[in-house]
A and B are shown apart, each in its own frame.
Chain A
Amino acid sequence: MHFGGIYEDETVGKIYDRRLMGRFVGYVAPYRRLIVVALLLLPFIAASKLAQPWILKMAIDSHITKGVMAGLPSLATGFLGIILAESLFSFAEVYLLQYVGQKVMYDIRVQLFSHLQRLSARFFDQTPVGSLVSRLTSDIEVVGEMFAAGIVTVVGDVLVLAGIVGIMLWMNVRLSLVTFSVLPLLIWVAFTFRNWMRVAFRQVRSRQANLSAFLAESIGGMAVVQLFNRERDEAREFRRLNSSYMEANLPVITWDAALYAVVESLSSIAVALIIWYGGGEIVKGNLSFGALVAFIQYIEKFFSPIRDMSAKYSVMQGAMASLERIFGLLDKEGKEPESKPQPPGPSAPAPKQGLQQICFKDIWFAYSDEDYVLKGFSLEMRRGEKVALVGETGGGKTTVTRLLSRLYEINRGSIAIDGVDIREMSLQSLRRRIGVVLQDPYLFSGTIEYNISLGDPEALQRVEQAAAMVGADRFIRELPKGYQEEVRERGVNFSAGERQLISFARAVAFDPEILVLDEATASVDTASERLIQQGLEGLMQGRTTLVVAHRLSTIRDADRIVVIHRGEKAEEGTHAELMSAKALYYRLYQLQFKD
């Protein structure tokens, strides 16, 4: 039972990384001004870094070796000034880059989130919540690390290196060449190690994916593991994956340590070369003591950015893996349907005279492939009518209500409101006309006011009025903070009846012409039942209502009852008519409503 074969992706090429990086640069581009400012600061930081050994050289050559005390204080003051300047500039630098980093993360996050809002209901049916959450949180965090780890400042590091090379050459060409003699070796080592590390990193990445996939699944299926007494086998498999992950990390550690050590040693060897060669030059009088000391300091400054290259590289690798996942989601197809361009003239929606009629015509619909839930369903509703849908579970009642809001696209047939096909309306204007109350009311964390208005400014005006209409105001006013009372995640601090009433108030606050109501099947306590009963009356008042009925009073009050059987309309009429027909409805009534 091996997992190895499932998640292998160790072959992802470097061209792929380059493409990801190229796309990422597009997100940084809007902040190029800030980046330019940050880059412009770099020469100043570099200069103040480079000036420090130079002042030391001047102090030694013109004062200390010559025994001249005068002028040393002013040099010291200069040194102090440069230190302060460096601190200030590096602060501005770090701050700017972090700011850009945070802004870029913010932009990606908002873009990704907005993209999610446009994806279809089908997409959300199929995608686990957890994986979307991690894309929007931890993956973006990892990308942000690139800024914190100073990958952008690599440009600055290069600048400092160039500056040091320039100054050293200017100070003493031959001594510089002696120093640089270690560089070819350094460059070779750096490039070779980089390639080895890339290979090692890929292995780490894929083994980490295996490990977390196993872990996620194992936690999900823990009961099965325990029921079948397979703890030991699972533990063995986990140990295998865990140790293969650890082993993949060891080469990375070794290459990293080796790179670090090589750079460190080479910098000391460069110093040794300077002592050997420069010492001779001093004896010959070709070089000053101060120059030698400054040279040694420059060498140290030269090697330190090279030293943390490997750390930056590992951050980059992590960011690549995350970018891949983020872009993967951004490229996800399955957006909500766009509206067809509206034909100009006669078929444009009739303005402001209010809803007259809704017409479902020969609807065919399947959630997947050819498995039709609705087969040629038709229904006509007139203004102010109250139509109840009745039928077996899974017969397609809820589907009809979902199609009206165009959460899913119908396969065949048409739905028209006042003669305009809903596919010709914008989603926004269609859904604005329809108020939906779901079987299981979803409450957000936030205040009651927010849960009724959902932050919509117009709805906000009607919060209290709406609550009063459905009778929710009584229990809300008794709360210590009234409408400002906090609703905890999923509304756990309210009873089922209270949650229903809040969702009724929500529908009323948006003042829709059409009301779509999916009544809760779950039985509630009698107190809640009474609350809901009263709320429903206020809710439906004066609206064209389509209700998936589970409640006796609802079907009795309905103007018309439509029985859906196997995806088709089987019977239609008032309660009394259908009861006397003694057909399908008669039996359904006995099964579902009579108690």
Chain B
Amino acid sequence: MTTTKTIDPVCGMEINPDTAAGQSEFKGETYYFCSPSCKEKFDAAPDKFIKQQEIMAENTTNGANKGLTTKQATDGSHNDHSLSNGTGQRVDLPITGMTCAACANRIEKQLKWQSGVDACSVNFATAKATVNYNPEKTNVAELIKTVKDTGYDTAGTATAEFVVDDSARPSGSGTQLENHLSKQRGVTKANFNLATMKVSVEYLPNNADLKQIRASIEDFGYKVREVSGNAEDAEDSLEHAHAEEYAELKRKFWIAAILSLPVLVIAMSHGSIEILNFAGVNWLQLILTVPVVFYCGAQFYRGAWAAFRHRAADMNTLIAVGTGTAFIYSVAATVFPSFFMSATHGSMPGMNDMPAHLSVPVYFEAASVIIALILLGKMLEARAKGQTGAAIKKLVGLQAKTARVIRDGKEIEIETEEVVPGDIVMVRPGEKIPVDGILVEGLSAIDESMLTGESIPVEKKTGDEIFGATINKTGAFSFKATKVGKDTALQQIVKLVQDAQGSKPPIAKLADTISGIFTPIVISIAIATFVIWFVAASPEVRFTMALVNFVSVLIIACPCTLGLATPTAIMVGTGRGAENGILIKGGDSLETAHKLNTIVLDKTGTITKGEPELTDVISSSGWSENDFLKIVASAEKQSEHPLAAAIVRGAETRNLAFEKVENFNALEGRGIEAKVSGKDLLLGNLRLMNERKIELNDADNTVEKLAGEGKTPMFAAIDGKFAGIVAVADTIKPESKEAIQALQNLGLEVVMMTGDNKRTAEAVAAQVGIKRVLAEVLPEGKSGEIKRLQAERKIVGMVGDGINDAPALAQADVGIAIGTGTDVAIEASDITLIKGDLRGVVTAIALSKATIRSVKQNLFWAFIYNVIGIPIAAGLLYPLTGWLLAPIIASAAMSLSSVSVVANSLRLRSFGAPKAN
């Protein structure tokens, strides 16, 4: 074994082979490493490091290595100003994978050897490489490549996308702009897609920001139309589109209404109003109807044509064919009345001397009034539909616009999108928190009601998780960003709710199948109606009767109602859930949840708080309760046992001062002993008391009673005499009893599942009113128990606190994860409650029942409406009652039907959680 020092081929550190963290053989040579991670890097690609080592060895022999590095680094920092103001640029690269200071040296050397780099210093502590370079000779991408080739990586690049407009400059190759951007400080990669006119830029957020990059694109003569790739923009533009659509519908409706009113009066008068019986009355109607059809109703014809080209038929098809037929016939009858006279009345002598406008009926009102009414319906529907998505809009709008972060040691304000993981974000009282992270400094209460529905602010201290979009109430603090953009809890919730809103419960399958074939079938029925009326009616009226009923059938049929029935209810229902911190995964979860008849609650963390609390302090005669607890808690303060912490917390809430403790000794499996303020304390279980021969008087009964209540009692003896009992227990959450009562009121059998022994479990169950208990269930046995319940033909919901219960949550018909916003829990469960409150389960199940009820009502009305409406419009009742449906009435009914379905769904917005009583 040699004692000569050797060099770690990866980081170049001088090490002693005897103390090396690892070694590897390569081409007959043995190499030693300073750390396991250096060995790992070497083993991955030994060749690369051997070559580097040779060069390094040369430098070391020249004796220039260490001195040169330090000197240049110092020079580099001195040169900062002159360099960045002159031809050079300075960039800070965050480096990952460095394990020791020698790693930093190695990167520094490699960077310095690169052409174009003027100076460089790598700081191991801050994990940053500061490089001064000449942008004409090299760029950040090459610098990063060097770092990667050396065996390390750079961290934290962000990507932004710009949509540009090249109207200001002749279009050509995209490479020029790419080159221009690559030379900018902090830009690592630029890609210009000429086809889509999109520039995507990868950059180091520490060195560049969106504003600068945008400015450099604009410097180059392009106009930046939008910076895309964030959800808010899309949502905004959608909202904008909705507002525009509504305004347009409104304008068109009023024009149609004003123009069609006189047409309606003329048509309804049937010649009974003398003044309207002039020769050109049909022409007047024609003139009034043309703008309604060609301007107000144009969207229906355009939509129908677009659908027709796709071999599809929809709502627009029905409206277009219906109103179009009425209009074209009426125009023809106005322009060539004689043709229709001969066609309909040709064989009837004596009719020819009647005035033309009375003998040939026209149906302009069918075209114009229908268009006006449908526009009104669409208008109401657009407004109501806008409200169904209100919950999502509210969620998206919660995000903070800007964030204050520490960059280069300075506090700067940037757009929220520019925050990267690792940034230190400063938050003042009253401010909105921009992204998710971990609190690093400060203390505050945060209002998380927007995410959890819980109105009481939550106390946060160092190490606690902070969520974006929540509001800081009291103190100033700083936190380290961990999740940004699409990864934040808020965005996850938004995505989950959006996906859930688009999903459909199985109940909607039938409606989907029907609406898929609905329109062509209705067109066929309408044609059949025409044929039957033409054949069956008397020759004088056969054409007009056939035509009117043909139009009525087309107009009354409403595939929209079928199509709107499910999604609107699901949207409002899931949105209402999200407002209450209830995330429902999809339509099928909703549907199963409403069918549940059994619900299994995990005890620890679900019914109980999941951490022990001091419940009883019973001191024997001669000791006051507080003095006794003071001594016990003082000693327990030294202990690391979880039960000890409960006792200490209990003493703290009673504002007791702790006393001096000496000779603390933990007795394995028994308890503790210590000297507190000169008194000898023994605290522990029965075994300890028996071993030390402590007289327990009549304490046995008390202990029995406490254990029966599911508590863990501990005996205490002071100066060799029994002094009292303290008991701790995992306490029941205050709302558990009420929630369980409410679940039972909903008709569910509530079952408790726990790993605890039967006695403790039953004690807890009795307190909250649960009759069926599954005790002593091992964690891996939980899903088996659920299966057993399912074998009893029960539809089982399982409530648990996430990861540990994942298999049981997955096995249950509906898994409800409680008190968590983590990805894993959301993944495993069908319903996630962000708030750790059992009442949320009640709300979730009641909400699912209400939502599915709305879906059923909507579907029922949509089906019934069409099933009854279409035959009436076709004139099926005519032979029996003489009823026919005028096309105008048909259109009013149609408009009302879809509005009523949306309105019914909107009732869910006022859904409130049921109370226990």
Tell whether A pairs with B.
no
